[in-house]
Amino acid sequence: MNFVNTEQQPTEKNQLSKGLTVPSAADKAPGYLENLKFLIVDDNAFMRSIVKNVLNSLDARYFREAADGAEALKILQSGFTPDIAIVDWEMKPLDGIELVQMIRTAPDSANPFLPIIMLSGHSEVSRVLQARDAGVNEFVVKPISVKSLFSRIDSLINKPRKFIRAGSFFGPDRRRRTIDVGISDRRGEAAPDQSQSLTTDQVSELLAQ
């Protein structure tokens, strides 16, 4: 089960939502995620197990794991077709940002439209903007919870953003907007405080949900 190529079919609804009952994070329907395939990319084995445990609690059953970005690319090239990739930022030798950029723009990318959730222990404006500009769909601040991860997965399924190509950028539409703490990302306006840490809701606003 894969996402619709929204660049080529912008009017169709994301295929993941067809036939599914949409739960809230607090009252999810059993089996909501059981048919989805996840690629979990993190160089920390304990963190990968945490992500798997959270996904298991949401009835997800299909996983592949990668210890860094380079291994993740090999898995993608091997023919594994995840519905969603959950990627940690800080990894070596290939970090999460570099992995996202290669998935989005490399000529031999297996799926440039792969939905990607970035995990990071940092929520500064500069970090969120860098992840967004690399092409991530969603951003979850560690420590993760069932609610925080489910809300981002649910957003991917039910509020997908159209993919666009603008210059060297390819990824989910980056609509310019100002969030409620006064952070602006519009060109020509005062630059936001790049060091300011954001709440989960503010991160979602900055990603133009």
With a cut of 50, say whether residue 186 has pLDDT above it.
Answer: no
Quickly count: other Cβ atoms within 10 Å of residue 38's Cβ.
21
Decide if 72 is inside a domain: yes
Lookup result for tokens 């390819």: 170
5-22 average pLDDT score: 38
Contact 83, 171 (CB under 8 A): no
Could you report the per-residue pLDDT of 149-168, keeping only the tens digit for each? 999 999 999 989 899 999 99
Residue 138 included in any domain: yes
> What is the domain-level CATH number for residue 180?
3.40.50.2300
Count how many domains the chain has. Answer: 1
Answer whether 0.85 is exceeded by the pTM.
Answer: no
Question: Is 7 part of any domain?
Answer: no
pLDDT at 144 over 50: yes
The 3-state DSSP class for residue 77 equals: helix
User: Over the stretch 58-98, which tens digit does the pLDDT of each residue have?
Assistant: 999 999 999 999 999 999 999 999 999 999 999 988 999 99
Compute CA distances 143 → 122, 140, 149, 170, whole Å: 10, 9, 10, 29
| 168 within a domain of the structure (yes/no) | yes
Round the average pLDDT of the chain to a whole number and report it: 79
Instruction: Name the residue range of residue 73's domain.
Output: 15-22+29-206
**Residue 118 belongs to some domain of the structure:** yes
Examine residue 8 and state whether it is found in any structural domain, yes or no. Answer: no
